[in-house]
């Protein structure tokens, strides 16, 4: 059930491969090969790990087995060879395919702010709840009766421990 769509994308994969090849071919960048030492797979994966192709949902690029993703990795390798930085490479993919290639939405503030506010609101409500519950109400509480309500099991346990001491 997890990642069911993982491999159901062969056709899209092919399409994307062609697309990737075209977009790269028609950009204004000059492809210069072998300017520096060939980057290792680990260097490529370090960047690929942070990217997602638009087809293989929820599968980071470094582990995606489709042909299209392999070509994207090759593209990263080529760009690294050209001396492009990590930020430049990511920017290139965002420019070509949109922000969805990144592992996180670009507008971090909104992404994190909404759950943070919701959680703080929950915490505040709980705090208010505590205040309300702890305020002794005249009708319900007889002050003389406020006694630590013990868990009967713990009470027995403590009792037995006390006896033995």
Partner 1 sequence: MIANFGYGVLFITFLVTLYSVFAAIYGDRKQIPAMVESARRAMLLTWPLLTLTAGVLIYLLVNNHYEVQFVYEVTSRSMPTYLKITAWWGGQAGSLLFWSWLMSAFASLVTLRKWDRDREFLPWVIVVACITMAFFIGMNVFFENPFAQLYQTFDGVAAHTLRPADGVLFTPEDGRGLNPLLRHPGMVIHPPMLYLGFVSFVIPYAFAIAALITGRTDDRWIRLTRRWTLWAWLFLSFGLVLGGRWAYDVLGWGGYWGWDPVEIAAFMPWLTGTAFLHSVMIQEKRGMLKHWNMPLVILTYDLVIFGTFLTRSGVLSSVHAFAQSAIGPLFFAFIGLTLITSVALIIYRWNSLRSETQMTSLLSREALFLLNNLLFMSILVVCFWGVIFPLISELFTGQKVTVGPPFYERATSPLFATLLLLMGVAPLSAWGHSTVKTLGRAIWKPTALALVVTIVLFATYTQKVGALIGFFLIALVILVTIYEYWRGAYARQRSQGENVFTALWNLTGRNRRRYGGYIIHISMMLMAVGILGIEIFQMETQGTLKQGESLSVANYELRYKEIAQWDDLPSGVNYRRAVLDVYEGGEYLGQLAPRIDYYYDSQQNMTIPGNRSTMRDDLYVLLVDWEPVAATGATFKIYVNPLVNWLWLGSLLFLAGVVIAAWPEKEAERVAVKARARVQQQTSAAD
Binding site for partner 1 (CB under 8 A): 1-8, 10, 40-42, 45, 52, 54, 57-60, 63, 65, 70, 98-106, 111-112, 114-115, 118-119, 122-123, 126, 129-130, 133-134, 136-137, 140-141, 146, 148-157, 159-161, 163-164
DSSP code at position 102 = B
Q: Is 4 strand, coil or helix?
A: helix
CB 80 → partner 1: shortest distance, Å?
14
Comparing CB distances to partner 1, the nearer of 88 and 104 is 104
- 6: which 2 tokens? 């993982």
CB 140 → partner 1: shortest distance, Å?
7
Q: Of 66, 65, 63, 84, nearest to 75 (Cα)?
A: 84
CB 92 → partner 1: shortest distance, Å?
17
Q: Residue 51 pairs with which residues in a beta bridge?
A: 102
Total count of residues recorded for the chain: 165
List b or e across 74-103, with b for residues whose CB sees 16 or more CB atoms inside 10 angstroms: ebbbbbbbbebeeeebbebbeeebeeebee
Comparing CB distances to partner 1, the nearer of 30 and 137 is 137
CB 60 → partner 1: shortest distance, Å?
7
Comparing CB distances to partner 1, the nearer of 59 and 78 is 59
- 126: which 2 tokens? 């709980």
Comparing CB distances to partner 1, the nearer of 29 and 121 is 121
CA separation for the pair 29, 11 (Å, rounded) = 28
Comparing CB distances to partner 1, the nearer of 34 and 161 is 161
CB 30 → partner 1: shortest distance, Å?
27
Q: Is residue 16 within 8 Å of 70, Cβ to Cβ?
A: no
């Amino acid at each position: 059930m997890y990642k069911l769509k993982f491999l159901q994308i062969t056709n899209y994969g092919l399409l994307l491969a062609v697309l990737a090849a075209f977009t790269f071919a028609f950009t204004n960048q000059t492809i210069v090969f072998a300017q520096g030492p060939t980057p290792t797979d680990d260097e490529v994966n370090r960047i690929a790990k942070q990217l997602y192709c638009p087809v293989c949902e929820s599968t980071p690029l470094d582990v995606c087995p489709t042909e299209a993703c392999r070509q994207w990795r090759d593209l990263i390798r080529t760009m690294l060879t050209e001396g492009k930085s990590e930020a430049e490479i990511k920017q290139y993919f965002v420019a070509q395919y949109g922000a969805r290639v990144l592992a996180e939405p670009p507008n971090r503030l909104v992404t994190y702010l909404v759950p943070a506010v919701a959680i703080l609101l929950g915490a505040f409500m709980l705090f208010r709840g505590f205040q309300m519950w702890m305020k002794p109400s005249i009708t319900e509480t007889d002050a003389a009766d406020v006694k630590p309500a013990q868990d009967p099991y713990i009470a027995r346990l403590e009792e037995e421990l006390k006896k033995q001491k």
